[in-house]
């Protein structure tokens, strides 16, 4: 049985490889900002709102998956529970990501969504990107990350040498308002003891609640 922390562990392992992972250019062009196909969703948190433009044109499956959670109000009351702070970041220029989601709660979690690779979509792991947490490709459900900084090693690297999972994670949109809230969550207190394995010391204490997630107008 896959642990409810499996998507977190997989993401943590990818981040651990940041300094050495090959930086293979994506095979798809980087997507230029465009309102066509974008769907605005606002996460209202206890620290303030975070507005996201989800790209239904370039990442239709992942966007539709996320919108099912939004429209069915499955994200109402969940938490940002994790902050990944990379060692080379500073308070003035933080590095890493924050993570939220259903954490495998059977009352909230829907079926997995097919993986949409960054090498196909052209949506890359830049600061402000929203990306699905997963174990193996095609196992992502209701957990997601928002990047505080660029993390190109989370992109797909299909030509990287050696064995392993080079499929990357699925980006499907970007923060358009509220990066200050993202950074505040990233800097929030953590428990020194909570978390399994490499996640120890990364769990927010207390977690930051998402009061509601709704489609909103641009």
- Kindly give the confidence (pLDDT) of every residue in the chain, 218 residues in length, as a single tens digit, with 9 standing for 90 and above: 334 444 544 554 444 333 333 333 344 555 555 578 999 999 999 999 999 999 999 999 999 999 999 999 999 999 999 999 988 888 888 899 999 999 999 999 999 999 999 999 999 999 999 999 999 999 999 999 999 999 999 999 999 888 778 999 999 999 999 999 999 999 999 999 998 898 999 999 999 999 999 999 99
Single pTM value for the model:
0.86
E-assigned strands of the chain? 38-45, 48-55, 79-85, 96-101, 129-132, 143-147, 171-177, 203-215
Tokens of 140: 């992502």
pLDDT at 30: 53
Strands 38-45 and 129-132: unpaired
Find the radius of gyration of the CA atoms of the chain. Answer: 16
Q: Please state which CATH class domain 80-207 belongs to.
A: mainly beta
- Helix and strand numbers, DSSP H then E, in the chain: 4, 8
pLDDT at 32: 52
pLDDT at 161: 87
pLDDT at 31: 56
């Amino acid at each position: 049985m896959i642990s409810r922390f499996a998507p977190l562990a997989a993401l943590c392992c990818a981040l651990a490889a940041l300094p050495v992972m090959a930086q293979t250019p994506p095979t798809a062009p980087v997507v230029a900002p465009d309102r066509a196909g974008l769907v605005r969703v606002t996460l209202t948190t206890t620290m303030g709102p975070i507005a996201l433009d989800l790209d239904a044109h370039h990442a239709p499956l992942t966007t539709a998956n996320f919108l099912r959670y939004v429209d069915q109000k499955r994200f109402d009351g969940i938490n940002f529970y994790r902050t990944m702070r990379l060692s080379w970041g500073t308070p003035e220029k933080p590095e890493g990501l924050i993570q939220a989601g259903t954490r495998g709660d059977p009352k909230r979690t829907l079926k997995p969504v097919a993986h949409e690779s960054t090498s196909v979509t052209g949506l890359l792991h830049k600061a402000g990107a929203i990306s699905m947490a997963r174990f193996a490709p095609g196992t992502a459900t209701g957990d997601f990350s928002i990047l505080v900084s660029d993390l190109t090693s989370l992109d797909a690297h299909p030509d990287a040498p050696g064995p392993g999972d080079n499929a990357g994670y699925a980006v499907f949109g970007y923060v358009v308002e509220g990066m200050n809230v993202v950074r505040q969550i990233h800097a929030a207190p953590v428990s020194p003891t909570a978390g399994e394995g490499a996640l120890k010391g990364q769990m927010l204490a207390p977690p930051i609640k998402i009061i509601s997630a709704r489609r909103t107008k641009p």
